[in-house]
Amino acid sequence: MFVDVAKIVVKAGKGGDGAVAFRREKYEPAGGPYGGDGGQGGSIILEGDEGIRTLMDFRYKRFYKAEDGENGKTKNQYGRKGQDLILKVPVGTLVKDGNTGRVIVDIKEHKQRYVIAKGGKGGRGNSKFATPTRQAPRFAEPGTKGEEKTIILELKLLADVGLIGFPNVGKSTILSILSAAKPKIANYHFTTLKPNLGVVRVGEEQSFVIADIPGLIEGAHEGAGLGHDFLKHVERTKLLVHVLDGSGIEGRDPIEDFYKINEELVKYNPKLKNKHQIIVANKMDLPQFRDWIGKIKDEFEPLGYRVFSLSAATKEGIKELKYGIWEVLKDIEYEYETFDEKMVEYFEEPEEEPIIVKKEEDQYIVEGSFIERLLYSVNFDDLDSLRYFQNVLKQKGVVDKLRELGIKENDTVLICGYEFEFFE
């Protein structure tokens, strides 16, 4: 089993600021507050997509941000909501918190959605702060910040395609050309001791996972050589690409090799007889290839096998093979591998950050996300706005807590980094 991992940062959009505006119309002499609310920031949403096989795209881009909400407008018009950003991930993707490692969600189904970063709330316009005694508020509320998280995406990779064949037929070279994998390549038997994995991109959103399965020898079904390890990987694939030495320069008969390997597959598990296979005759750059390719096609094409000729050395025929594999894969039903449901823990919605009132040495300090929002909404040049600020501090118990800590007239209070003098 292979696990594909990507670490990314997601940042939801900020909520739009509320507007400060007043009616100034010919037949409305009284006017009044007219500022609309800001729009909500866009959220970042993960969506399961059965057409995506890997986390490849998340390696090229690590930071994702949704659109901010639009600021409120005059005439009580709301700002436009920020557009959500939908990140499509393979079905079977496990999402973890990048800081704690805790599991957030397991995307198990096609089209399943999960809001991984929630957009900030839009701020209220000044019309929302009007009261019988405060008829012309000159302040509005700013939008809140969108959530920002570092997350880890994990995906159990099942190879869609398995490259099989006797040792030294060119499987590792073919893998390295088709994908970005960098397997060890040398001209001797049993070069590959464990499967090498690569991802082959077909289009902008299409890709498949291919594995160079370790070379096989006769008796593998009894555990000889790499035996059972090899065959377990074969069982998991959707399609087998059977690579033959089309030149015969190793002194082997490629047609006999095909039947010997398939015999080992069936002895290990009779169901493997029905596994989809295509045949690749490699080493077409060698003169001996011409002596064999006709025999190979005459033997296998009447049996329904597609035969591709290529040269891993010159890369001739690679493109035809890639798209030929994809055409077959599209028609084979896919099985998804998900993580054990027992290990999945879901985060609860975080509670609003509490207001912190404390004393450090001779300094009184007030902090918290709510207080920060409140502070930025205040117009300190406007008496009504300042009174609103003071009233909210009293309602939230901030003034009482400061008194409990021993605050006195004219003492300094640091509120979210800004200094204020305390007056009763």
Would you say 165 is a known binding-site residue? yes
Is 193 flagged in the annotation as binding?
Answer: yes
What pLDDT was estimated at residue 233? 66
95 among annotated binding-site residues = no
Instruction: For 355-384, give the DSSP string.
Output: PEEEEETTEEEEE-HHHHHHHHH--TTSHH
Which three-class secondary structure state does DSSP give residue 211?
A: strand
Question: Does the annotation list 190 as a binding residue?
Answer: yes
Where along the chain do its domains lie?
A: 2-157, 161-329, 356-421
Q: Is 282 annotated as a binding residue?
A: yes
Residue 166 labelled as part of a binding site = yes
Instruction: Tell me the C-alpha distance between 98 and 116, whole Å.
Output: 12
Annotated ligand binding at 212? The verdict is: yes
Does the annotation place 1 within a ligand binding site? no
State residue 348's pLDDT score.
42
Helix 369-377 crosses helix 383-395 at what angle (to 10 degrees)?
Answer: 160
**Residue (of 164, 175, 322, 171) closest to 242 by Cα position:** 164
Architecture category of domain 356-421 in CATH: 2-Layer Sandwich (3.30)
Instruction: Give the pLDDT score at 369.
Output: 82
Known binder of ligand: residue 213? yes
Please check if 311 is assigned to a binding site: yes
Q: Which CATH superfamily is domain 2-157 in?
A: GTP1/OBG domain (2.70.210.12)
- Is 168 annotated to bind a ligand? Reply is yes
In 3D space, the residue among 119, 120, 121, 117 whose CA is nearest the CA of residue 87 turns out to be 117
Q: Which superfamily, per CATH, for 161-329?
A: P-loop containing nucleotide triphosphate hydrolases (3.40.50.300)
Strand partners, 216: none
Known binder of ligand: residue 191?
yes
CB atoms within 10 A of CB 383: 11
Per-residue pLDDT of the chain in tens (424 residues, 90 and over written 9):
567 789 999 999 999 999 989 887 666 656 688 899 999 999 999 999 987 878 878 978 999 999 999 999 999 999 999 999 999 999 889 999 999 989 999 998 899 999 999 999 999 998 998 888 778 888 888 898 999 999 999 987 777 898 988 887 888 889 888 886 554 434 333 344 456 778 888 877 678 888 887 655 555 444 444 444 556 667 778 899 999 999 988 888 999 999 998 988 888 788 888 889 999 999 999 999 999 999 999 999 999 999 999 999 999 999 999 999 999 988 886 655 555 544 433 334 445 568 899 998 888 999 988 888 788 777 777 777 788 888 889 998 999 999 999 998 888 999 988 888 888 7
